[in-house]
Amino acid sequence: MEPISIAMIADFFHPDVGGVEGHIYMLSANLIRMGHKVIVITHSRPPDRVGIRWLLPGLKVYYLPFVTIASGATLPNFFTFLPYLRTILIREHVHLIHAHASLSSLGHEGILHSHLMGVRTVFTDHSLFGFEDAASILTNKLLAGTLRNVDAVICVSHTGRENTVLRGELFEQSEDDPPRLVVSSNVYVIPNALVSKRFQPGLLQKSDTITIVVLSRLAYRKGIDLLVATAPRICAAFPNIRFLVGGDGPKLIDLLQMREKYLLQDRIELLGPIKHNDVRSVLIRGSIFMNTSLTESFGIAILEAACAGLYVVSTRVGGVPEILPEDMISFADPNEDDVFRAVSEAISLVSAGKHDPIKAHERVKRFYDWAQVAERTERVYHTVMKSEQRDLWDRITRTMRLGRYAGPIYTIILLVDCLFFLFLEWWMPREDMDFVTHHWNHRRFASATRGL
């Protein structure tokens, strides 16, 4: 297969830490090892991370001078990004862009602009969203407009696929008589993965004390209210239980108040923010991993905990039931009583020695591998590159079907975008650009660093 020049686009990337950031980096690194060219386009980070940076193994990152508004995301503006994107895609000879995350403005705008340069588009959705509150309604309509003309959509779980299909209105008319709506054929499911070598189980140590580990952003959607409600009950029912809580967020104050109220300072340890390199060292201090999320598309933290040998207790939400076999995880409904029941079962199981951390690690190691994820993503890329590209009239027609109000608004944005692109073609001609002609030589780098 011919190598593809790929641009990953997202608001979320290194040095920020998170599931989307890790996914983009690991997928890019493995695609580079497979012979493809990959760059990343994201926004700048304070105080001085702006411009071009290089990350191993030869990943080129463009940090553009855009300011974030909330949670690391930039303000949607539709047109400011086009001059930067046009210059980068043309200079780097990019064939395909891969945008990530529903809340990434850069990703949405990259999909809008790329067709002007004949660049193909892929989008990966990493999260679940609702349909009732105002924020979800606006986000879902923006997503539907973006995905109206995207070439392929990847979801990290089957539950995430159902959610994205509904939010993005990814339906087609079947050829049946009478015709019916079916899910678009360009929607794929490719799960997350992890580097199993980084999550080796710790040495087995006999102890009467059982430690429950919680690693999460301390926010409402992560179910921290459930943790606040159940932790005192668990500590009262099991004198040999300790909690180890890592993470930061607006719900930290609730945990501190609960610990103070029930005098559990010696039973519940709050670690604060945890660097990703330190996650394993925290996990191996425990025997049980507890996840109380109210919504979760995949749950990479659950996978990392299971790989480190911990038994998992989790709420049965989103794509969590797809992650692990039933003998490696106990599920609970997202309510206080059922979470207490599931944790009690896990404590009994671990106390009886019925969970083998080494076997759990070996099983997870076989289930999830970034090389397999990269191979499956590569197949999606090649399918997209071989498919017929939509012309402008087809894009306008599809965009007008978004609705009575959204359709005309998005169509106007699409047409203005075309006019702005034509102006840039005149104002900054391609022949005046400095094209990238030399790329990272992986063989020379490997030979130069051998033995270091």
Give the whole-angstrom CA distance, residue 372 versus residue 369.
5
Per domain, the residue ranges of the chain are 5-193+370-439, 196-367
196-367 and 5-193+370-439 share a CATH fold: yes
Residues ≥6 apart with Cβ < 8 Å to 37: 3, 4, 5, 6, 92, 439
- Each residue's pLDDT tens digit, 280-325: 999 999 999 999 998 888 888 899 999 999 999 999 998 889 889 9
Per-residue pLDDT at 287: 93
Q: What is the pLDDT of residue 117?
A: 93
Strand partners, 42: 63
Crossing angle between the packed helical segments 300-307 and 357-367, to the nearest 10 degrees: 130
Distance of CA 18 to the CA centre of its chain: 8
The structure tokens listed for 74 are 């930039």
The DSSP secondary structure of 335-354, one letter per residue, reads SHHHHHHHHHHHHHHHHTT-
- Per residue in 78-126, pLDDT (tens digit) is 788 999 999 999 999 999 999 998 888 999 999 999 999 999 999 999 8
With a cut of 90, say whether residue 393 has pLDDT above it.
yes
pLDDT of residue 228: 95
If one counts every other C-beta atom within 10 angstroms of the C-beta of residue 372, the result is 14
pLDDT band at 244 (very low <50, low <70, confident <90, very high): very high
For residue 214, what pLDDT is reported? 94
Which whole-number Å values give the CA distances from 212 to 276, 291, 311, 358, 419, in the listed order? 19, 10, 10, 18, 58
pLDDT value at position 262?
93
Q: How many CB atoms lie within 10 A of CB 371?
A: 11
Higher per-residue confidence, 187 vs 22: 187
pLDDT for res 452 = 41
The domain 196-367 is classified under which CATH number: 3.40.50.2000, 1.10.1270.20, 1.10.3720.10, 3.40.50.620? 3.40.50.2000
Q: Which of 24-33, 189-198, 439-448 has the lowest mean pLDDT?
A: 439-448
- Superfamily for domain range 5-193+370-439: Glycogen Phosphorylase B; (3.40.50.2000)
Q: Residue 272 region, left (φ>0) first, then alpha (ψ -120 to 50), else beta?
A: left
The Cα–Cα gap between 220 and 226 comes to 9
DSSP at 299: -
Mean pLDDT of the chain: 89
pLDDT of residue 443: 67
CB 294 within 8 A of CB 209: no
Beta 51-55 vs 59-64: how paired, if at all? antiparallel
